[in-house]
Structure 1
Amino acid sequence: MVEARPAVLTVSALRFLVGVVLSMPVTGPADPLKVAQGTAAWVLSIFAIYLFNGVNDVAEDRVNGSTRPIAWGALDPRSASYVAAAAAALALGATLDLPAPMTGIIGANLVLGYLYSGPPAPLKESSCATVAVLVVSGLLSYLGGFTIASGGQAVAAPTGLLVFAALSVGWMTLVGVPAKDLSDCAGDAAAGRRTIVVTRGARAATWFMSVSASLLVVGVFAAVALLGAALLGVALAALAGAVAVIGAGRRVRSGWTERREQRRPYRAFMVTQHLVHITALISGI
């Protein structure tokens, strides 16, 4: 569980549940048992992916001084691989009596996870491919929730869900990726990855994520005002998160070089993800 990152598993469950809740203005109430089963299938797929990623990221994690269990020798990589494979099988098995598209959604997510970390040419080595994987996986999480809420029927997704999914995916890729890269620069460089931090430096990365966070907040407020999306609480939560990310980025630009300080923007990004999704759940319910 530690290797698969509990914070990531939690926000993955929240994404799926937000997909359910923001769909209900169109689909009506969802079956709670199906929601629980679908959420379990999705989280199991994410668990398998992150565990598999830990197995394949050992060299970089050690260079970065990561405290992930595989990197510091507390978890055997072979055992982790077996557990990841079992979790992937359970994730697919959990979809058998759910709406048919769920099997394809979970399967596609698992394939993406393998392609991202696994041989022969892991997509994680390319910044553009990393962003593409995050975009598709993020959209699949909301699509999964929508599929459960709609029972697999062909209905139009509500505006609120579309706007929220766009905000969330943008936050993951335009803010989360450079924020994470700040503290992983040494390992990424050693592995030959050409991230924005490796190629342009920390200053450029912090400016990029700060501007991106600001534009995303403006976009969600515009959607509330112009499209009538019932996401005012989400917009306010995103605004608070953007302020935190920008402030953390300024600390890095001021010359902080310790990994703990370089992690501040990523921690602010991650807390904001949780806050925005919890706000959406509360307002949607």
Structure 2
Amino acid sequence: MTAGETSRGLLELTRPVNVIAASVLTFIGAFVAGGITDQPVAVGAAVAATGLAVGAGNAINDYFDREIDRINQPDRPIPRGAVSPRGALLFSIVLFAVAVALALVLPLLALAIAGINLIALVAYTELFKGLPGLGNALVAYLVGSTFLFGAAAVENVAPAAVLFLLSAIATLTREIIKDVEDVEGDREEGLNTLPIAIGERPALYVATALLAVGAIASPLPYLLLEDFGLAYLVVVGPAVAIMGYATYESFADPTAGQEHLKYGMFLAALAFIVGRAATIVPSGL
């Protein structure tokens, strides 16, 4: 492999789309908490630490999953030979170290969240991924906690708490559908994911029920908090509709369903931004 191919492989290990998405969620958490202009250094450190930690977690996940990926995703960097397992592990350690260094400048609560999340990222594949539902729940917590981390960086967690819950529910739904998609390779590797433990269709029913709970709860930021304007509802409505269709689609095609569910989640994240902006931008502008 050439240096260029290895560099591309290392970048792929981080899953750049996931890195960007998690970083944006951290930014949204800080934005909702009202700390973007008051504490820009803390916000920047939190966003960068999130991106690096997620990239590190994805890299170490590929390291532990290299045998499964030979079946499920043979084009990933390690199975195709672009990056060696040792190289992926060392790369992950470097990213984790830089993320920790950045987190050290943040308030104590943000530092605590970062510490818990770093441990969870490392433990996920080795300890929790093969346990029915628990691995999914851990990933859901990690995604949702990015909102809390951003808010904690500017020392105002309360407005982000409901965002954490809604994001965790949507992520848990998608993770279950992804496990349905990956059931062949997971079974080959001896994992006991939720679709393997209870069956693929029952697992999809669980995912559907979870999304229904999230859909019912989606108006709560507008109803319970003064931090979100009516624009939030205008944008979150279509987001919920997309996620609902994607979950329905997953019964026939889990690969397409989980991909389309991601689009709805991105739109829901936009709803948080638009809804919060509506309360802080003067109406006369």
Q: TM-score scaled by structure 1?
A: 0.83
Matched, 1:52 2:65: no
Out of 90, 100, 106, which is 1:92 matched to?
100
Residue 2 of structure 1: aligned partner: 12
Count, aligned residues? 264
Out of 123, 132, 139, which is 2:128 matched to?
123
**CA RMSD, 1 decimal:** 2.3
Provide the secondary structure at the position in 2 that maps to 1:206: helix
Provide the secondary structure at the position in 2 that maps to 1:193: coil
Residue 25 of structure 2: aligned partner: 15
Contact 2:63/2:78, CA 8 A, preserved across alignment: yes
Looking at structure 2, the residues matched to 64 and 73 of structure 1 have their Cα atoms a distance apart, in angstroms, of: 15
Which gives a bigger RCO, structure 1 or 2 (Cα 8 Å, sep 6+)? Answer: 1
Contact 2:240/2:268, CA 8 A, preserved across alignment: no
Looking at structure 1, the residues matched to 22 and 16 of structure 2 have their Cα atoms a distance apart, in angstroms, of: 10
Contact 1:135/1:169, CA 8 A, preserved across alignment: yes
Matched, 1:283 2:270: no
Residue 181 of structure 1: aligned partner: 179
Contact 2:128/2:134, CA 8 A, preserved across alignment: yes
Looking at structure 2, the residues matched to 169 and 66 of structure 1 have their Cα atoms a distance apart, in angstroms, of: 29
Identity %, equivalent residues: 22
Matched, 1:214 2:221: no
Partner letter of residue 267 of structure 2? L
Alignment of 1:1-285 (within 5 A): 1-24=11-34, 29-118=37-126, 122-150=127-155, 157-158=158-159, 161-173=160-172, 175-221=173-219, 224-225=222-223, 230=228, 231-252=232-253, 262-285=254-277
Say if 1:89 and 1:244 are closer, same or farther in 2 by CA, change over 3 A.
same
Shift of 1:176: 1.2
Looking at structure 2, the residues matched to 109 and 38 of structure 1 have their Cα atoms a distance apart, in angstroms, of: 13
**Which runs of 5 or more structure 2 residues have no equivalent in the other structure?**
1-10, 278-285
Q: TM-score scaled by structure 2?
A: 0.83
Looking at structure 2, the residues matched to 37 and 156 of structure 1 have their Cα atoms a distance apart, in angstroms, of: 17
Provide the secondary structure at the position in 2 that maps to 1:70: helix
Partner letter of residue 218 of structure 2? V
Say if 1:264 and 1:19 are closer, same or farther in 2 by CA, change over 3 A.
same
Structure 1 window deviating more from structure 2 (136-145 vs 109-118): it is 136-145
Say if 1:100 and 1:134 are closer, same or farther in 2 by CA, change over 3 A.
same
Provide the secondary structure at the position in 2 that maps to 1:75: coil
